[in-house]
Amino acid sequence: MKRRDFLLSVLPATAGVLVILTVILLFFQYHSFRRNYIADIQHSLGTHATLVTLLLQDDIARRDVATIAEKIRPFHKEPLRITVIDELGAVVIDSDLSALSRVSHIERPEIQRASAETDNFTIRYSTSMHATLIYNARRLPNDWILRVSLPVNAFDDAFTEAVAAILLALVLGIALVLALIFYIFRRIRPGFISLQRAAQAIAEGQLNTPIVLPHSGLLRELSQSIATMAAQLKGHIATLQHEKDEFNTLFNTLREPLLYIGNKGEILHANHAAVQRFGESLRHPNATIETIGLATLSSLVEAALEELPLEAQEISYNDHGVSYVFLTHIARLVHENKPNLLLLLTDVTDLRRLEGMRTDFIANVSHEIKTPLTAILSTVETLTEMQLDPANQARCFDILTRQTTRLNNLVQDILSLATIERRQANAVQDFRRIDLVHIIEDALADYHDEIMAQKVAVSFVPDPPPAVFIMGDERLLEHLFGNLINNALRYANATRYTVSFTETARHITVHFSDNGVGIAAEHLPRLFERFYRVQKERSRATGGTGLGLAIVKHIAILHRGKVSVTSECNVGTTFSIRFRRP
């Protein structure tokens, strides 16, 4: 829709208002001028009346009409009209012969009001003169009335003429001004419209809109200012955009959930980590801290918004059965005099789990050490304080040997675990290409006697086994397979061990199976934990430390492998170690 130009719509209205104001002003001025004019006329008429009275009073007293007529003749052509009326209201003589009337004047207002007073004026329309006149009528001693009058039309005529002149001048003036404005407007309009369009485009964000500069004048300066403003705006916006991008990158690269919260608890911004952890609903426009559904977090935010002291706090979060522990850090940012919050949730789940594991480990180690130590101490006491026969002495030495061996095994296994864990960071550079079958055969050879004693048949599937090479540490891998064989010998009570392999493009998996007693399903998830035992008595009786399978797991991890177990009671157990191909 084409909008009407503002100036064009305002100008006629302004002109109209100007004319109306002038007319109102003239209307009020008319009455004021007329009042003054009539006061002047009255004054002059009063003077004239007095003079005429002096001139005619003797003649009127004598009722000498001829002399009166003679004296008023010079007034025939004057605007001052002199009329002499007798006591019955009949006109005796009138200076205006054309208006000489035979009609009785007794009813005329000025005659009715006529008295000896001099300031007795009446204004009325004279039907005989066809004009408005102002009358002064004086009753003389012989009851005749001397009436003088002057027309007041002269003022109305002069005023009408003046008004006509003023209005004409006004209309001409307005027309001239309008024409001038219209001319100027027509000249600057195209430039003005193009500038207006450019300014509008800039306001809508099209900062590259070209601005045509007029050759000269005010509009050129204005155009130049707008062009400069657009360029500066572009620079500022680019800087702001850059800063915003930087902020977003920083915000989203953070691996910890970070939320920017408004003063009503609404989530103004949630980074990728927060959305990943607490769900897409955080990005909903109406999302608040309540959306997360953690009462502790909501009340923490509420307290922070109420300007209570900010304290880091640990909160637990459960996501589909998996528990997380977060440490909260809140920073208050004042925005428009109200606090907004930056809430960082540091995931300390692993840290807390490790701390728990360390505490458990220390407790377990202490417990494992305490039993053999107590046994050693009491045996030594017995040996030193009692006179024992050689048989009992031999029993005591046997106890000492078993308990020290147990302690030694424990220390060895703890040291092995510690060494393996420490090596994890730089293990790969020490690795060599290793023939896995060869390692397994060596480990089996180490336990040859026990295997023979238990009459266990060992077989490779296929037989002969394929050549299987991986990158690894020979000694550690022997340790790994040694532990598996040792466990099978101590717990499985099997008649057959089978070593088999499965291969994929990326992995080689070694399966070590026995057809022994098996392990109940409820133990399997925790089997590789430190100090976790299934057959506790058997483990202790055979010098087990509870660390054998934990060592297996960590050696596998060191080789970027993975260990798993399947088992069925009275059918057997299979340990599988998956290695990456070199």
320 vs 455, beta carbon nearer ligand ADP: 455
List phi, psi (to 5°) of 377.
-60, -50
Q: Is the dihedral of CA 125, 128, 134, 137 positive or negative?
A: negative
Supply the minimum distance, in Å, between the C-beta of residue 489 and ligand ADP: 9
Supply the minimum distance, in Å, between the C-beta of residue 246 and ligand ADP: 52
Residues from 555 through 574 that contact ligand ADP (CB under 6 A): 573
From residue 453 to residue 492, what is the string marking binding to ligand ADP with x (rule CB under 6 A)?
Answer: ----------------------------------xx--xx
128 vs 493, beta carbon nearer ligand ADP: 493
258 binds ligand ADP (CB under 6 A): no
From residue 125 to residue 144, what is the string marking binding to ligand ADP with x (rule CB under 6 A)?
Answer: --------------------
Question: Is residue 421 within 8 Å of residue 357, measured between CB atoms?
Answer: no
Q: Is the dihedral of CA 279, 281, 287, 290 positive or negative?
A: negative
Assign 3-class secondary structure to 69-103. Answer: HHHHHHHCCCCCEEEEECCCCCEEEECCHHHCCCC
| Residue 459 three-state SS | strand
Give the CB-side neighbour count of residue 206, counting CA atoms within 13 A: 8
305 vs 488, beta carbon nearer ligand ADP: 488
80 vs 420, beta carbon nearer ligand ADP: 420
From residue 509 to residue 538, what is the string marking binding to ligand ADP with x (rule CB under 6 A)?
Answer: -----x-xx-x-------x-----xxx---
| Residue 569 three-state SS | coil
Question: Is residue 291 within 8 Å of residue 281, measured between CB atoms?
Answer: yes
393 vs 535, beta carbon nearer ligand ADP: 535
Candidate residues 95, 498, 545, 576; the one interacting with ligand ADP per rule CB under 6 A: 545
Q: If you search the block for the tokens 């008004």, which residue do you land on? A: 163
From residue 400 to residue 439, what is the string marking binding to ligand ADP with x (rule CB under 6 A)?
Answer: ----------------------------------------
Which range touches ligand ADP (CB under 6 A), out of 40-48, 134-142, 234-242, 547-555? 547-555
Supply the minimum distance, in Å, between the C-beta of residue 503 and ligand ADP: 24
544 binds ligand ADP (CB under 6 A): yes
291 vs 483, beta carbon nearer ligand ADP: 483
223 vs 416, beta carbon nearer ligand ADP: 416
Q: Given the DSSP bridges, would you call strands 507-514 and 496-503 parallel, antiparallel or unpaired?
A: antiparallel
17 vs 520, beta carbon nearer ligand ADP: 520
Distance CA 48, CA 516 (A): 158
539 binds ligand ADP (CB under 6 A): yes
Distance CA 326, CA 352 (A): 10
Closest by CA to 294, choosing from 273, 251, 323, 256, is 323
223 vs 486, beta carbon nearer ligand ADP: 486
Supply the minimum distance, in Å, between the C-beta of residue 353 and ligand ADP: 20
Supply the minimum distance, in Å, between the C-beta of residue 346 and ligand ADP: 34
Supply the minimum distance, in Å, between the C-beta of residue 562 and ligand ADP: 17
127 vs 408, beta carbon nearer ligand ADP: 408
Q: Which residues contact 244 (CB under 8 A, 6 or more apart)?
A: none
261 vs 517, beta carbon nearer ligand ADP: 517
Supply the minimum distance, in Å, between the C-beta of residue 478 and ligand ADP: 16
379 vs 513, beta carbon nearer ligand ADP: 513
Residue 131, Cβ density class (10 Å: 0-12 exposed, 13-18 middle, ≥19 buried): middle
Question: Is residue 159 within 8 Å of residue 34, measured between CB atoms?
Answer: yes
- What does 497-525 look like in DSSP terms, one character per residue? EEEEEEE-SSEEEEEEEE-SS---GGGGG
For residue 288, give the DSSP letter.
B
For residue 266, give the DSSP letter.
B
Based on its alpha-carbon atoms, the radius of gyration of the chain, rounded to whole angstroms, reads 63
Candidate residues 191, 257, 472, 548; the one interacting with ligand ADP per rule CB under 6 A: 548
Candidate residues 191, 372, 465, 546; the one interacting with ligand ADP per rule CB under 6 A: 546
Distance CA 349, CA 401 (A): 43
- What are 150's strand-pairing partners? 134
Can you read off the two tokens belonging to residue 151?
């027309």
Supply the minimum distance, in Å, between the C-beta of residue 575 and ligand ADP: 7
| Residue 211 three-state SS | coil
Supply the minimum distance, in Å, between the C-beta of residue 376 and ligand ADP: 20
- For ligand ADP (CB under 6 A), the number of binding residues is 20
Q: Is the dihedral of CA 237, 239, 244, 245 positive or negative?
A: positive
Give the CB-nearest residue to ligand ADP: 548
Supply the minimum distance, in Å, between the C-beta of residue 547 and ligand ADP: 6
For residue 310, give the DSSP letter.
P
- The footprint of ligand ADP (CB under 6 A) covers 487-488, 491-492, 514, 516-517, 519, 527, 533-535, 539, 544-549, 573
